Chain A
Amino acid sequence: QSALTQPASVSGSPGQSITISCTGTSSDVGGYNYVSWYQQHPGKAPKLMIYDVSKRPSGVSSRFSGSKSGNTASLTISGLQAEDEADYYCSSYTSISTWVFGGGTKLTVL
């Protein structure tokens, strides 16, 4: 199973919106609505931000939203804040009952 494709880096200014893409295949992202997104600050464990493509766990800011079209999922962060600067990973359930992660995207808040 190949890793999902994410941009290596994205950046935005405080208050702006950014979108991170996550491209897979019909055997993972395109075939299931079990796409999730994780935020990871340096030296910390990942934190679940979005699950089932667009659902937010309790306690996660409404500034975070997710969507999917075909084999590509997206994470949008609106009203960027300094604390959003982190690495973001997408993940998808696959046709062989495993999980596959994206390579990660480093978000820089300018």
Chain B
Amino acid sequence: QVQLQESGPGLVKPSQTLSLTCTVSGDSLSSGSFFWSWIRQPAGKGLEYIGRIYTSGPTIYNPSLKSRVTISVDTSKNQFSLRLSSVTAADTAVYYCARVSGTTDILTGYYVPDAFDIWGQGTMVTVSS
């Protein structure tokens, strides 16, 4: 059974860097079978895609966050991480990590992300002084 667990500080000061880690159990990040993603949700609002990483391909970020976001992977620890710099109150949200299933696109032959099939429970991060 695959499980994802987010961890990191629940409180970050404005202008500092938010850092979160997602620990994966029951699956190997180095298998290359899946993509791994971060998504956030401000209180009472909808979901926002942050970005994804794939051990056999490029890391893709939401253009609106691209200048501040870094997603990395540590296959030795079976973890992937999120760093978001220069945070403001607008970055206050529940942050989820998720596994993204992939499929081979019929038209292009490329292996593309399909859907967020397994989610962590989420971790609340508040940006405040």
Contact = CB atoms under 8 A, between A and B. Distances in A.
Nearest to A100: B49
A101 B112 contact: no
Interface in B7-59: 37, 46-49, 51-52
A79 interface: no
Contacts of B96: 45-46
A96 B52 CA distance: 13
Interface of B: 37, 46-49, 51-52, 60-64, 96, 101, 103, 112-122
A48 B39 CA distance: 14
Contacts, number: 66
B103 A101 contact: no
Given A38-B116, A48-B117, A99-B49, 12 more contacts: A36-B114, A36-B116, A45-B121, A46-B116, A46-B119, A51-B101, A51-B115, A52-B103, A91-B47, A91-B49, A98-B63, A104-B47
Interface of A: 1, 3, 34, 36, 38, 45-48, 51-52, 57, 89, 91, 93, 96-104
11 contacts: A3-B46, A38-B116, A46-B96, A47-B119, A48-B116, A91-B47, A91-B49, A91-B116, A98-B49, A98-B61, A104-B46
A98 B60 contact: yes
B71 to A, nearest CB: 13
Contact of B114 (A38, A52, A97): A52
Given A51-B114, A52-B114, A98-B62, A45 B120 contact: yes
A36 B37 CA distance: 15
Given A101-B49, A104-B46, A1 B116 contact: no
Nearest to A37: B115
B124 to A, nearest CB: 11
Contacts of A57: 117
